[in-house]
Structure 1
Amino acid sequence: MHFPASVNFEQSDVLNARVRRVDGEYLISISSNFDPTINAVMARLVTSADVLPWLLLDSLERPKGAELLSRLCMEFILAHEHGHIIGGHVDQLALEKAGTDGISEFNVVSRDDQHATYDERSQAWEYEADTIGAALLDKQIDELIEAVKSQNLADNERTFLGAPEIAVEHVGALAIAALYVLFRLMRKTKDELILVGHHPDPLVRAFTCRDVISHRLMQRYDFDRGRFREMMIYHLETFDWAIEDLGYAASQMADDDGVNQVNDSLKNLAKLQSKYHHVTNNTRWAKWSMSQI
């Protein structure tokens, strides 16, 4: 699918991204501070002994892996904004509000502002954009899997992305953990600056992406689903410990109670998506549902 969208980088310390129509064309704007910030967080994260403990702390595989995960996060930011285009959100908003600033990750308006609202439709649209965005990562994930499978490792050699025989499970699990870190980073930005946003908890967003990525991996590969789940939970937990050490507080934990809350949140988001899906009947690029993704 061809995306006729231009991309620019805006000078801003706020980690934000937005998509809108400008002179009849789509324009995606991303904060210029996004890439260096994600790179810096990932670089610090992989220095934790909790993360990938089979690698020596001074292994060159750690910074190399941080770069790969940072790049995947930036790809997702772009894919998420494309999700708003494909889902018809951008065109629908343009029809309703001429001259709109488009759809942003955050609105730079205090939550104390009397006009700030959390509307259901925006929550549904962000959920849709996450699901479409995760689906658009197929190519990037496949490239990482193929890179791992093409490795010729000695018996005692260890790499960031793991061994060829577990390439699908490990790369898929790492991708979800990396996106979780991205969502934690964005939530921290929102909370510190008291911004308005319509995204759910970072763990809920990570599990949304998990559902899409795992489903699409099953369509393309034959792999051990139990091992994939174990690796995903393991990386979510260890990345969670490491990012908390960096000062990023969690609102939902990946324990049994937390997972139950996440599953309830996912059900509610799916209901909202179904409730407002008809709004973009005439503007979305493709007819789709979560079951199709």
Structure 2
Amino acid sequence: MLWKSSDFNPENIQEESLRRIYTYQAIRANEVYSSFSAHYPRGKKRILDYKYIKGDKLRAYTTSIWKYDKIRVSSPTIYMVRSLCDQLLANEGFLPTIVGSDKYAKRENIPNFLADPFEVNFQLQGEAPDNANRLLFSDLMADMCATFILCHEIGHIICGHTAFFKTLFNSECLDFFSITTSKDITVELKQAMEYDADIVASALLPQYIEQLSKSVKSNKRHQEIFKEVISQGKLQEDILMLSLMFLYAMFVYIQGRGELKYNAMSEHPHPLLRAMYVKDAVITRMKERNKLDLAYILEKLPMYFDQFDERLEQFSLNQPEVIIEDIFRRQDGLMQGLIENAKIHRGVCRHYSWLPPEEWN
């Protein structure tokens, strides 16, 4: 592979476990993309170009040039997501069912934790678990969150968003982490596209969750990590909920602390709303593919939310109660508006979409 000066080569990452996540994401992106391009005629002659680029902030976006669909992820993105997972799991009282190891282990040279990705001056002392099992679990959850991001970007491609934006606006599709607001007529269109890309990612993520659940049966390290979870007899349900909760934490992290960065003119739906409809979409897809104990999930998921909210509050990442109450009070109306908005605007991209009309809705 030829590297430009603006590219970031993950092979230069010294920490093996972090380098592995970056490598897995590139491999996984090509595998997911290839499965779609082999299945849909519009994608058969197209080529994915997935690269990491040098940067100093969270960023992931797509663009199309000629026969190439390009996904670009800024160099610190996966690292920052993994740092969030590390920070959460550093407290052994958090998620005590994730069993630690007697073997001492640590991350080397942990920098400060950027507690708000958009306020570089708001930093906390960086922390990470000090045992091998919880460190590995952090890697697994970071890998899962990064997988959702790449599937979201592939969603933009197969839904025709990337080609549409390049053709009409000569620009890349929206950055996954963008907090941009706009007063132009494309706001509703952009929100609709982000919703559809999230739904595509939500439909794909269950395969990752299923593979992780299966790995516990054959991987001794995974068996040790999930020992307490296994004893409860609902391994797949608990791994599903844990995955959803780390996605929730990532969306809370995107919003950052303090003032509300998203509103009706934002180019993305509010991150908390995204977390809620992604949760529902992933559970729906998992239910279609597997036999799930929904009663168990409905009983236990609020307990996970409480644990995560309490831990996030320790980093000042919890949202002000007035914002949370407002979003949940208006959740049904906001969701209905998003769904209707998406249906209206899908026709705009139909010419560029890989999906046939019968699969469009």
Task: Give the Cα–Cα distance (whole angstroms) in 2 for the partners of residues 249 and 290 of structure 1.
Answer: 38
Partner of 1:73: 145
Task: Return the offset for 1:147.
Answer: 2.0
Alignment of 1:70-219 (within 5 A): 70-97=142-169, 99-105=170-176, 119-150=187-218, 159=226, 162-163=229-230, 165-188=233-256, 197-219=266-288
Task: Give the Cα–Cα distance (whole angstroms) in 2 for the partners of residues 163 and 254 of structure 1.
Answer: 36
Task: Give the Cα–Cα distance (whole angstroms) in 1 for the partners of residues 260 and 56 of structure 2.
Answer: 12
Contact 1:65 1:160 in 2 (8 A): no
Partner of 2:305: 236
Partner of 2:330: 261
Task: Give the Cα–Cα distance (whole angstroms) in 2 for the partners of residues 254 and 179 of structure 1.
Answer: 19
Contact 1:168 1:221 in 2 (8 A): no
Contact 1:252 1:258 in 2 (8 A): no
- Structural RMSD (CA): 3.5
What's the TM-score once normalised by structure 2's chain length?
A: 0.69
Task: Return the offset for 1:138.
Answer: 2.8
Query: Alignment partner of 1:7: what SS?
Result: strand
Match of 1:271 among 325, 332, 340: 340
Contact 1:161 1:167 in 2 (8 A): no
Q: Which digits, 9 at most, give the CA deviation of each residue in 1:97-142, with x for residues without a partner?
A: 2x32333235686x5xx87777111001000000001112132111
Amino acid corresponding to residue 162 of structure 1 in structure 2: V
Task: Return the offset for 1:6.
Answer: 1.3
What's the TM-score once normalised by structure 1's chain length?
A: 0.83
Task: Return the offset for 1:173.
Answer: 0.7
Q: Which digits, 9 at most, give the CA deviation of each residue in 1:172-220, with x for residues without a partner?
A: 11111111111122222997999x9522222211121112211111112
Task: Return the offset for 1:27.
Answer: 0.3
Contact 1:149 1:167 in 2 (8 A): no
Query: Alignment partner of 2:344: what SS?
Result: helix
Amino acid corresponding to residue 176 of structure 2 in structure 1: E
Query: Alignment partner of 1:6: what SS?
Result: strand
Q: How many residues align?
A: 286
Range moving further from structure 2, 224-233 or 38-47 = 224-233
Range moving further from structure 2, 260-269 or 212-221 = 260-269
Range moving further from structure 2, 159-168 or 8-17 = 159-168
Match of 1:32 among 52, 56, 75: 75
Task: Give the Cα–Cα distance (whole angstroms) in 2 for the partners of residues 212 and 30 of structure 1.
Answer: 25
Partner of 1:42: 85
Contact 1:50 1:242 in 2 (8 A): no
Task: Return the offset for 1:66.
Answer: 1.0
Q: Which digits, 9 at most, give the CA deviation of each residue in 1:212-252, with x for residues without a partner?
A: 21111111211210112233322222112212212314156
Task: Give the Cα–Cα distance (whole angstroms) in 1 for the partners of residues 198 and 143 of structure 2.
Answer: 17
**Cα distance change, pair 94–215 in 1 and its aligned pair in 2 (3 A):** same
Task: Return the offset for 1:28.
Answer: 0.5
Contact 1:18 1:28 in 2 (8 A): yes
Amino acid corresponding to residue 62 of structure 2 in structure 1: V
Partner of 1:2: 36
**Cα distance change, pair 72–152 in 1 and its aligned pair in 2 (3 A):** closer
Higher relative contact order at CA 8 Å, sep ≥6: structure 1 or structure 2?
1
Gaps of 5+ in 2: 1-34, 38-46, 101-128
Task: Give the Cα–Cα distance (whole angstroms) in 2 for the partners of residues 108 and 43 of structure 1.
Answer: 24
Query: Alignment partner of 1:9: what SS?
Result: strand
Q: Identity over the aligned pairs, expressed in percent? A: 23
Query: Alignment partner of 1:93: what SS?
Result: helix
